[in-house]
Structure 1
Amino acid sequence: MGRQPAPPPTVSPDHTVRFLLDGEEVQCSGFAPTTTLLTWLRESRGRCGTKEGCAEGDCGACTVVVAEAVEGRIAWRSVNACIQLLATLHGKALYTVESLREPDGTLHPAQQAMIDCHASQCGFCTPGFVMSLFALYRNQSRADNDAVTDALSGNLCRCTGYRPIVDAAQRMYALPAPAEDADRRARETALYARLQALEGEADLVLAHAQGRYLAPRTLASFANCYADNPDATVLAGGTDIGLWITKHFRPLPLLLHLGRVRELAAIRQHDGALEIGAAVRLEDAFRALVAHYPDAAGLHRRFASLPIRNAGTLCGNIANGSPIGDSMPALIALGAEVVLHRAGQQRRLALEDLYLGYQQKALAAGEFVEAVRIPLPRAAGDVHFRAWKVSRRHDQDISAVFAGFALQYEDGRITRVRLAYGGMAATPRRAYATEAALLGRPFDAAALADARRALQQDFTPLSDVRASAEYRMRVAQNLLTRLQLETSGGARAASSLADLGDGGHASI
């Protein structure tokens, strides 16, 4: 492949991580690149309100809020400090539970509401809940129950119960606003300028005895760095790599972070497709997808938790290639393709062709996923799309089965069909035999029966701690039945499925 020369550097590489903590600039250097934000907060700053619970981004006891400058505004994001690497804070503003109290001791409404509603017992998880509520308070002037439960989807409490915590989420909006909110717009404008100045234009380069960390600023610089160092670990949101550090204690000699590359942070419509760059957060990516495919709303809300979606990226989920990665079956059903990049050269590949086997991908050395392209519907209702997740727990759980379906009809017959499943094989896969059983036919009882039989040709699922092979096959077949009821005019039958929500396991 040809090599795209990087433009001559205009500034020297930066060797110091700079960010704001409570509005004061912090400069960090000389630390191991695998240092997590949680470790730094507790051990270097004594901020012990941020707790370590699970150390894998599940319990929410470590939740903090990060503010960053994004397209002319300040984005406030709740994230898990236990799997957020300290180096990725460069150019951002950080807030912990200790940040919220005003100088005179007045508590933030999110804190005071927790007290007023008796929403804490043992208190271990309470700072994490407060920070999730603080992010909600910053992002929305009021919130309904759906917004509240979504904001708290990454926080677990086993002693208080959620009713008083949800009550506190509503109560905080009725309390007097913090003094700083009086000139909030001016404060955020000033914060935006400070963060842009901290971010700078230089590549970030950190060196330590335990490894190196490179965070290029441009696509050309990133691509050339990876071509020169194909054994580097590409870091996006860190929601998977963070566990390699906290759980597996894996050495990572070279981390190559793509989060500072402007070109990879874009969402755009181009040539009839929605193109989502590799640095786009899952939360932003799903919002863009749901705008065109409203039936992806269940996928959006049930993909992990809000703090995970605020950190992880859609292309990172794709590149990871897990057989239970929830995004891939839905995107495969929609006919998505990935844009692959190596040293200035691009190629496109159908998403289903990216996966060769368990944790095996059709990527050359130094090649990475630059973007994912999702075809847009030509008109409203043109594509009957469904994405259903079946898991033991509704929120923040790993799928037993995930199904993505896309159908098009003409004169009552199926003229185009793409069916994909996760959790049924070593990779996310299309159900080709099942598609063939449906193509060109009305989706009637006979076609459904043939499709259910054909699914057994497509998959031989395994049993594991999440589900047995028999359960997986039965669920996968029953999701076909649900698809037939919802898309073939069976209005009465479909209405009886309204209580299934997003494919809840109890009804399958």
Structure 2
Amino acid sequence: MRSAIRFLHRGDVVELCEVRPNETVLDYLRLRRGLSGTKEGCGEGDCGACTVAVGRVVEGRLVYQPVNSCIQFLGMLDGAELVTVEDLAADGKLHPVQQAMVDCHGSQCGFCTPGFIMSLFTLYHAPDVPATRKTVTDWLAGNLCRCTGYRPIVAAALGACFETIDDAFSRRADETMAALTALQDDMDVMISSGDGFFAAPASVDALAVLYEQHPDATILAGATDVGLWVTKQLRYLPKIIWIGRVAELEGAEETAGGVLMGARATFGDTHDFMARIDPDLGELWRRIGSRQVRASGTVCGNIANGSPIGDSPPALIALGATLELRKGAAARTLPLDGFFLDYGKQDREPGEIVTGLYVPRLDPNHAFRCFKISKRFDQDITAVLMAVRLTLVDGGVTEARIAYGGMAPTPKRAEATEIALVGARPDKPSTWAGALKALAEDFTPIGDMRASEDYRQEVARALLAKALVEIGGTPDERTRITGARREEASHAA
């Protein structure tokens, strides 16, 4: 067992034995290291002023991802390289993205600039991305500029981020990968702190044993939600178990019937897999949070937290996904739609952890649609999310799976509506009237700052009708402002 975390910064190995469970990367940089270039803005991973880059070796290459340091816990840096805005200039010269920001006048008040620079640094190092304005705006959706300086920032990105990669980091990439590889070991990490600890087991067996011993501990995956418990709710989490070192839980793979993803698999890791199942899933995954959130946030974490407005559960429920759980040596599976019991309550025993998720592929006789409604198109919390999978035989519906988010205390299937749709034909609107009315039996939504009760009810009906219109044969482009279902969408990055 190791009682310290180790990471790379400025080419040196940093080893820390004193790591408070709730200490964030941002606090470490500003308060411990005096590196104030990384700014504290919203404190919840929305504004991007605190963005840093985290480098890891992935499939034999060095990959840099943008991370919101305000909600990343310090212990999560173990085994990685940390890059901040102070690290970019070399030999008296600005980094290419910094120089482009100067040349294009991309900085105004300057508070958000370090975060933009770091996001652009990761875009600069991203391989095989289209050199388009859309790529840039998607990459920067998690960085907010209150001076409305987006036009010159986008111009700087287009001018600097799609040329040949040539900076100090690319030139020493082999050296960095060797150093990161040397940091990898199979030791569990346990750092005690007062009445608690920060732990990072190195195997799923060790994880299961530790969590069974400490069922009151907080399981940490990407921290995109748990981080806010500390920064916004001011909660003290004395015991944290991070799953980031458990190799058995990482990544996703395609099987004969679908996609199997581990509890460590992020939205970024799984995007292409989901897009290959259906283009709407690729678009939904792209609109979940920001690039920073998708690089850290995990699909299984989004499920385990049980939010009634979590974006992924309704789509996964409609697909018939199955959840994998483990407590000690005992493992079990259950349909995802049986996991959510009530607001804040899931079918998960104390000491039981979500270890994976299986998402089945669509059959040839399936039709699938998924829509997200929010006030802001990118990086915004959902008001209503609907996903529907219909089984069609000779043009008629023989089975329906319909799930909504934002309409009930949990992600929930529209069971009365599903029954009412059986026998209907999507190409004959007169046959779905009963199903649209049945939605009122399935849901009695509440009103809040995102949407009123009446709005949610009306939007729920409209989204179902929209899906049926599309499935019934109306050209997709006529029903969509953006995100049209084109063949190439299933291969988008």
Residue in 2 that maps onto 1:344: 329
Instruction: Quote how far apart the aligned CAs of 1:220 are.
Output: 0.5
Quickly say closer, same or farther: Cα 1:499–1:47, change in 2 above 3 A.
Answer: same
Whether 1:426 and 2:414 are equivalent positions in the alignment is: no
Whether the 8 Å CA contact 1:235–1:258 is kept in 2: the answer is yes
Instruction: Quote how far apart the aligned CAs of 1:292 are.
Output: 2.4
Instruction: Quote how far apart the aligned CAs of 1:441 are.
Output: 2.2
Within 5 Å, which residues of 2 pair with 1:289-438? 289-379=274-364, 382-438=365-421
Whether 1:466 and 2:450 are equivalent positions in the alignment is: yes
Aligned equivalents of 1:446, 1:460: Cα separation in 2: 25
Spell out, residue by residue over 1:318-345, the C-alpha distance to the aligned partner (whole angstroms, 9 max, x if none).
0001000000000001000101111122
Calculate the TM-score normalised by the size of structure 1.
0.92
Within 5 Å, which residues of 2 pair with 1:248-287? 248-270=233-255, 272-287=257-272
Spell out, residue by residue over 1:432-467, the C-alpha distance to the aligned partner (whole angstroms, 9 max, x if none).
111111112212212322111000000000011111
Residue in 2 that maps onto 1:59: 47
Whether 1:75 and 2:60 are equivalent positions in the alignment is: no
Spell out, residue by residue over 1:454-484, the C-alpha distance to the aligned partner (whole angstroms, 9 max, x if none).
0000000001111100000000000011111
The letter of the residue matching 2:60 is: G
Instruction: Quote how far apart the aligned CAs of 1:502 are.
Output: 7.7
Whether the 8 Å CA contact 1:22–1:95 is kept in 2: the answer is yes
Instruction: Quote how far apart the aligned CAs of 1:210 are.
Output: 5.3
The letter of the residue matching 1:282 is: F
Secondary structure in 2 matching 1:499: coil
Instruction: Quote how far apart the aligned CAs of 1:386 are.
Output: 1.5
Aligned equivalents of 1:241, 1:175: Cα separation in 2: 37
Whether the 8 Å CA contact 2:258–2:359 is kept in 1: the answer is yes
Secondary structure in 2 matching 1:285: helix
Q: What percent of counterpart residues are identical?
A: 46
Instruction: Quote how far apart the aligned CAs of 1:198 are.
Output: 1.1
Whether 1:40 and 2:22 are equivalent positions in the alignment is: no
Whether 1:499 and 2:487 are equivalent positions in the alignment is: no
Whether 1:113 and 2:100 are equivalent positions in the alignment is: yes
Aligned equivalents of 2:47, 2:344: Cα separation in 1: 27
Instruction: Quote how far apart the aligned CAs of 1:421 are.
Output: 0.2
**RMSD over equivalenced CA pairs, Å:** 1.7
Instruction: Quote how far apart the aligned CAs of 1:175 are.
Output: 7.0
Instruction: Quote how far apart the aligned CAs of 1:259 are.
Output: 1.1
Aligned equivalents of 1:454, 1:353: Cα separation in 2: 22
Aligned equivalents of 1:469, 1:501: Cα separation in 2: 27
The letter of the residue matching 2:314 is: P
Deviates more, 1:270-279 or 1:397-406: 270-279
Give the number of aligned pairs.
483
Quickly say closer, same or farther: Cα 1:502–1:211, change in 2 above 3 A.
Answer: farther
Aligned equivalents of 1:421, 1:179: Cα separation in 2: 47
Spell out, residue by residue over 1:292-351, the C-alpha distance to the aligned partner (whole angstroms, 9 max, x if none).
222212201110111011111000000001000000000001000101111122111111
The letter of the residue matching 1:481 is: A
Aligned equivalents of 1:294, 1:347: Cα separation in 2: 31
Spell out, residue by residue over 1:244-294, the C-alpha distance to the aligned partner (whole angstroms, 9 max, x if none).
111122121210111110000031234513111001111112222112222
Aligned equivalents of 2:185, 2:69: Cα separation in 1: 24
The unaligned stretches of length 5 or more in structure 2 are: 486-493
Quickly say closer, same or farther: Cα 1:438–1:333, change in 2 above 3 A.
Answer: same
Aligned equivalents of 1:48, 1:246: Cα separation in 2: 18
2:126 aligned to which of 136, 139, 146: 139
Whether the 8 Å CA contact 1:101–1:107 is kept in 2: the answer is yes
Quickly say closer, same or farther: Cα 1:501–1:70, change in 2 above 3 A.
Answer: closer
Whether the 8 Å CA contact 1:336–1:351 is kept in 2: the answer is yes
Whether the 8 Å CA contact 2:44–2:227 is kept in 1: the answer is yes
The unaligned stretches of length 5 or more in structure 1 are: 1-12, 504-508
Instruction: Quote how far apart the aligned CAs of 1:496 are.
Output: 2.2
Instruction: Quote how far apart the aligned CAs of 1:152 are.
Output: 0.2
Calculate the TM-score normalised by the size of structure 2.
0.95
Aligned equivalents of 1:78, 1:159: Cα separation in 2: 22
